[in-house]
Amino acid sequence: MSTQGEFTAEGGCACGGVRYRITSRPMFVHCCHCRGCQRETGAAFALNALIETECVEIIKGAPGAVMTPSESGNGQTIIRCPVCHVAVWSHYSGAKDKIAFIRVGTLDEPDLLPPDIHIYTVSKQPWIMLPDGVPAYAEFYRWSQEWSAEALARRAAVLKR
């Protein structure tokens, strides 16, 4: 795995009004199959790359924040284009705005970040076939069991700030 700073990728919304760059490889990539993510995206799952917000640079536009309900009951802040309203990333209450959950589908090259894990598979659509070799959990998992030591250290460092 590349270390922080050796990876960049760009993405944006559907209309091009918001463009962003991530300046580090994400800590981890979740493919979440919970009903909340299905409802929110209108798709079978949400694919989110977790990265320090400080590693997300807005290169065009001024995205807006919208507070929305979440399955946890704590809500999440979704960062959207103010014109086309596409969600480009979100922040969950546990990490506040310190960690961005980049919507992988908004990247120019989304195939750069396949999922490291599938979560909440208890509610996945029955026609979704999970790939061999990628961890899958019926609900959530323990960070310490799945994340690399480097990613855990990054997460701990950003949450202390």
pLDDT tens string 90-101 = 998 778 899 999
pLDDT of residue 4: 52
pLDDT confidence bin for 3, thresholds 50/70/90 = very low
pLDDT digits (tens, 9 = 90+) for 102-156: 999 999 999 999 999 999 999 999 999 999 999 999 999 999 999 999 999 999 9
Please indicate, yes or no, if residue 1 is contained in any of the structural domains: no
Give me the pLDDT at residue 6, please.
Answer: 84
Instruction: Say if residues 95 and 70 touch (Cβ distance below 8 Å).
Output: no
Q: Which domain holds residue 43?
A: 9-160
Which pLDDT score is estimated for 1? 36
| Residue 4 resides in a domain | no
pLDDT of 29 above 70: yes
Enter the tokens of residue 32: 């979440």
Give tens-digit pLDDT for 46-73: 999 999 999 999 999 999 999 987 777 7
Question: The CATH number of the domain where 19 resides is what?
Answer: 3.90.1590.10
Number of domains making up the chain: 1
pLDDT of residue 27 exceeding 50, the answer is yes
Amino acid 70: pLDDT: 75
Give the pLDDT of residue 115. 98
Share of the chain above pLDDT 70, in %: 96
